[in-house]
Amino acid sequence: MSQKRIAIFGSTGSIGTQALEVIAANPLLFTAEILTAQTNDALLVKQAIQFNPNMVVIGDEKKYVAVKEALKHTTVKVFAGEKAIEEVASMDCYDMMLAAIVGYAGLKPTLRAIEIGKVIALANKETLVVAGDIIMRKAMEKRIPVIPVDSEHSAIFQCLVGEGRNKIEKIILTASGGPFLGKKPNFLVNVKKDHALQHPNWNMGAKITIDSATLMNKGLEMIEAKWLFNLTYDQIQVMVHPQSIIHSMVQFEDGSIKAQMGLPDMKLPIQYALAFPNRIPNDFPRYDCKKPGTLSFEEPDIKTFRNLALAMEALRQGGNLPCILNAANEIAVYAFLRNRIGFLDMTEVVEQTMQKIAFIEKPTLEEYFETDGEARNFAASLFHM
């Protein structure tokens, strides 16, 4: 396996930092060629000094001078601003993009990377939620793989290796249920952000942890799965699996089910995506089947956790509705994390925005951009951000 040059877009987040751990453990297989961050200049500088990438980009232009000064004794090129993140994605100096920028902001750099034929390791589910039809069509035109990094989609991807000619009957996305599994609205109405940020199984960034608590994350994953694996609404099922050992399953037309199992550790799907099609050794903890324990499954409570029901409706209708859902949700989560709205208010913001913004059945890329802006503005107007 020859050395791969990795561009990590979102290197200071949870996925980015764990990816750098994988790269550090396999210096003969991977180098960090590009690192980008939005605001965390201190960690970006620390990463740049350790990994000596070709270039770094800090999204917050006010922090450019600090980063430039800190790296003046290195050979690392320093850029700043949102446009620079897109432009660097267009440079032909890397082999694979790890798309780990959180939310809608990851869409444009990923598009740029696809346009120049780069392999995508996709950790940003919102890119496919917002414009999955366009992303996957362009990837097919360029004949480049989009390898999922989300643990659930990585599991499905792994189950499908060698099954190219065999028809999928359905996929089963597993959900931990988050910290409020089994709770009802009279409990959830009083939930504060500190409680919502305590996930029982996974250590993730704030946005995805809140999405997991509301089950919006699972809804976004359903939409992502549709595009990644060319599925219909009826072929995607969600089951709550509190132990987070089975990461997802594929049922084929003969009734056989394949599952991918392991301890909840994001480094494994990250490493799998970076090294694909090879599997490489590691010292990650192993799941021990000898230990007593139960693997259980139950239906999600979509009456209490209505974000999942809203996402399922967006998946069913398609068009720009998933884009509206995602934009409103990003605004709602932002407000909740700043104590501007309550836990259940997030669902109200998303639902009202989905009802208000005009539906477009087959949007262009420009219409997706316009839809995103309109949805954000309307969602923000609901609580005067």
Q: Are strands 30-37 and 4-9 parallel, antiparallel or unpaired?
A: parallel
Mean pLDDT, residues 144-170 taken together = 97
Residue 102: the pLDDT is 85
Would you state the structure tokens that stand for residue 67, as one six-digit string? 């980063």
Backbone angles phi, psi at 55, to 5 degrees: -155, 155
pLDDT value at position 26?
98
The per-residue pLDDT for 105 is 87
Convert the pLDDT of each residue in 67-83 to its tens digit: 999 999 999 999 999 99
Supply φ then ψ for residue 122, to 5 degrees.
-100, 110
- Residue 385 above 60 pLDDT? no
Percent of the chain with pLDDT over 90: 90
Q: What is the fold of 4-148?
A: Rossmann fold (3.40.50)
DSSP string, 67-114: HHHHTTTSS-EEEESHHHHHHHHT-SS-SEEEE---GGGGHHHHHHHH
pLDDT at position 45 is 98
pLDDT over 80 (residue 200)? no
Query: Does residue 43 have a pLDDT over 90?
Result: yes
Return mean pLDDT, the chain. 95
Nearest to 126 by CA among 341, 362, 317, 372: 372
Q: What is the DSSP letter of 298?
A: B
Please calculate the CA angle 382-318-181 and round it to the nearest 5 degrees. 65
Task: Give me the phi and psi of 300, to 5 degrees please.
Answer: -70, 150
State the pLDDT at residue 291: 83
- CA 289 – CA 25 distance, rounded (Å): 27
Q: How far apart are CA 257 and CA 214, in angstroms?
A: 28
CA-to-CA dists, residue 263 to 286, 327, 336, angstroms: 7, 32, 30
Angular region, 123: left φ>0, alpha ψ -120 to 50, beta rest: alpha
Per the CB < 8 A criterion, the answer to whether 32 and 53 are in contact is: yes
Question: Which is more confidently placed, 48 or 206?
Answer: 48
pLDDT value for 202: 67
Which tens digit of pLDDT belongs to each residue from 254-287? 999 999 999 999 999 999 999 999 999 999 999 9
pLDDT tens digit string along 225-242?
Answer: 999 999 999 999 999 999
Q: Is the pLDDT of residue 290 over 90?
A: no
Q: How confident is the model at residue 199 (pLDDT cuts 50, 70, 90)?
A: confident
Distance separating alpha carbons of residues 258 and 74, to the nearest angstrom? 48
Q: Write out pLDDT tens, residues 58-117.
A: 999 999 999 999 999 999 999 999 999 999 999 999 999 999 998 888 999 999 999 999
Fold classified for 318-385: Rna Polymerase Sigma Factor; Chain: A (1.10.1740)
**In CATH terms, are 4-148 and 318-385 the same topology?**
no
Q: Measured between alpha carbons, how far is 307 from 235 in angstroms, rounded to an integer?
A: 20
For 118-155, what is each residue's pLDDT tens digit?
999 999 988 999 999 999 999 999 999 999 999 999 99
Domain boundaries, the chain: 4-148, 166-262+294-316, 318-385
Mean pLDDT of 340-367: 97
CA distances (Å), 31 to each of 24, 54, 147, in order? 8, 10, 18
